[in-house]
Amino acid sequence: MSTKANARNNKPAAGSGTTPAVGGRLPIVGLGASAGGLEALRAFFGAMPPKTGLSFVVVVHLDPTHESLMPELLAKSTTLGVHQAQDRQRLEADHVYIIPPNRALTIDQGLIRVREVADRRGLRGSIDHFFRSLADDQHDGAIGVILSGTGTEGTLGRGRSKPKGGW
């Protein structure tokens, strides 16, 4: 997300998050939504208090051929810091990280991992893919929320967190 959008919404700068809360780890909420999930995301983040103690990672189905305005659009609905996810980025409390177009996200040792997707077929199952990595990496600090989607997208990955103590 641009600095301009952060300044416009008086967002805290990256690096100003609060202390981790679950077993010394920051609880991470993965949110999955279809391309039409913007209104659900706005409502969700609009209801969030400014200090949650949680980090949020949003995986939405985006058009891989266009730049996304999702960070700027969501920033208008919340006091949380909103950023486009970057590779090897450390997650912080009270911040939202959004998948870039034509990318796949995972979590590895508490860091966001972003990789380019070679073809559109690689974008299928992107929510499940992220939720599986979130559960494997964060165990009881993983929370999966499916706001909208097609078929079973997200349910398989979210189900993986239950046996590991996550939600």
- The three-class DSSP label of residue 93 is coil
Partner residues linked to 56 by β-bridges: 29, 96
Q: What is the CATH superfamily name and number for domain 3-9+26-164?
A: Methylesterase CheB, C-terminal domain (3.40.50.180)
pLDDT in the model for residue 15: 41
pLDDT above 70 covers what percent of the chain? Answer: 70
Average pLDDT over residues 149-155: 51
What is the per-residue pLDDT across 1-47, written as a single tens digit (0 to 9) for each? 433 344 334 333 344 444 445 556 799 999 998 877 899 999 999 99
Long-range CB contact pairs, 13-16, < 8 A, 24+: 13/81, 14/81, 14/83, 14/92, 14/95, 15/92, 16/81, 16/92, 16/94
Whole-angstrom distance, CA of residue 120 vs CA of residue 36: 18
In terms of Cα–Cα distance, which of 102, 68, 109, 105 is closest to 85? 105
| Sequence ranges of the domains in the chain | 3-9+26-164
What is the per-residue pLDDT across 40-76, written as a single tens digit (0 to 9) for each? 999 999 999 999 999 999 999 877 778 889 999 999 9
pLDDT in the model for residue 123: 52
Whole-angstrom distance, CA of residue 79 vs CA of residue 66: 26
Whole-angstrom distance, CA of residue 113 vs CA of residue 86: 7
- Specify the pTM: 0.77
